[in-house]
Amino acid sequence: MRTLTVDEAVQAATQRLRSSLAASGLDLAVAVYYGEPGFAGMTFTDLGQNPPCEITPDDLLAVSLLDIAWHPEAVRTLLSSHGQRFGEMLAALPHETDLWDASDEALRHIDRLWDALTSVYGIGTASASKLLARKRPRLCPISDSVAIRALEVRVRAWDVLRHLLQDPAARADVEALRPAAAAGASTLRILDVAVWASHSRSAAAQWVRGRAGMAAISAL
């Protein structure tokens, strides 16, 4: 992850994402996700203990609910004495700041933690971003393969999401998708579920779209 300046590519991707939030049935799809017991729902946010400056077994279990299989070496590294280094990096990140209000300095601290996480054997883009989203749900969006494909900007996903959410009207569009069952989820998490429901080609996402009456993904 690298935070870069807003350019035409980011602006175009932001507009595409903004338009996708208006897809017919998307609010129902997000509600299906949070209402069906077969999905992570609020358990990703609420499971166990989540101290702001420590990575715990509860964090790894919560992240595993988002289709992440942890490599044993990664688990040992994150939970052993080496984990203190990650705790110190987490301490440099504000835990009550939203992505759209974050300073460039805060984002540089995320860059350093991102590099440290992805340097661990068995931790890739998806697992690193989902772990960061668990530890800083208001600040760190998920940037897995679904988000990257949807935004069409490769490593620029964070820039697009930050730019989008700096617009109060766009934040209102995201909040309009929030079902009652997701009252405690961050705005970023609602947006992540909306992107997944709209763009994932998985069987689970297809099932959600079918329940919500959304168009097939080839038509999105």
Q: What is the mean pLDDT of residues 23-39?
A: 96
The predicted pLDDT at position 202 comes to 92
Percent of the chain with pLDDT over 70: 93
Residue type, 134: R
Percent of the chain with pLDDT over 90: 77
The CA-atom distances, in angstroms, between 56 and each of 41, 48, 60, 135, 174 are 20, 9, 7, 10, 30
- Contacts of residue 81, defined as CB under 8 A and 6 or more positions apart, other chains included, come to none
pLDDT, mean over the chain:
91
Q: Two tokens at 24?
A: 């017919």
The predicted pLDDT at position 13 comes to 86
The predicted pLDDT at position 150 comes to 76
The predicted pLDDT at position 111 comes to 93
Residue 193 has pLDDT above 80, yes or no: yes
Residue 82 has pLDDT above 80, yes or no: no
Q: Are 42 and 190 in contact (CB under 8 A)?
A: no
Q: Two tokens at 159?
A: 């820039």
Residue 87 has pLDDT above 60, yes or no: yes
Rounded to two decimals, the pTM is 0.91
SS3 of residue 102 by DSSP? coil
**How crowded is residue 17: how many other Cβ atoms within 10 Å of its Cβ?**
26
Q: How far from chain centre, in Å, is Cα 31?
A: 17
3-state helix, strand, coil in the chain (%, to 5): 60, 0, 40
The predicted pLDDT at position 4 comes to 46
Q: What is the mean pLDDT of residues 15-26?
A: 92
Q: What is the mean pLDDT of residues 107-125?
A: 94
The predicted pLDDT at position 23 comes to 92
Query: CA–CA separation, 180 vs 177, rounded Å?
Result: 10
Residue spans of alpha helices (H) in 21-94: 26-35, 43-46, 57-64, 72-79, 83-91
Residue spans of alpha helices (H) in 65-202: 72-79, 83-91, 104-118, 125-135, 145-151, 157-165, 168-175, 187-199
**How crowded is residue 103: how many other Cβ atoms within 10 Å of its Cβ?**
10
Q: Are 26 and 217 in contact (CB under 8 A)?
A: no
Domains of the chain by residue range: 8-219
In tens, the pLDDT along 137-178 reads 999 999 888 877 777 766 568 888 999 999 999 999 999 999
Query: CA–CA separation, 205 vs 38, rounded Å?
Result: 12
Q: Two tokens at 176?
A: 């309009």
Kindly indicate the confidence band of residue 215, based on its pLDDT and cuts at 50, 70 and 90: confident
In tens, the pLDDT along 57-71 reads 999 999 999 999 999
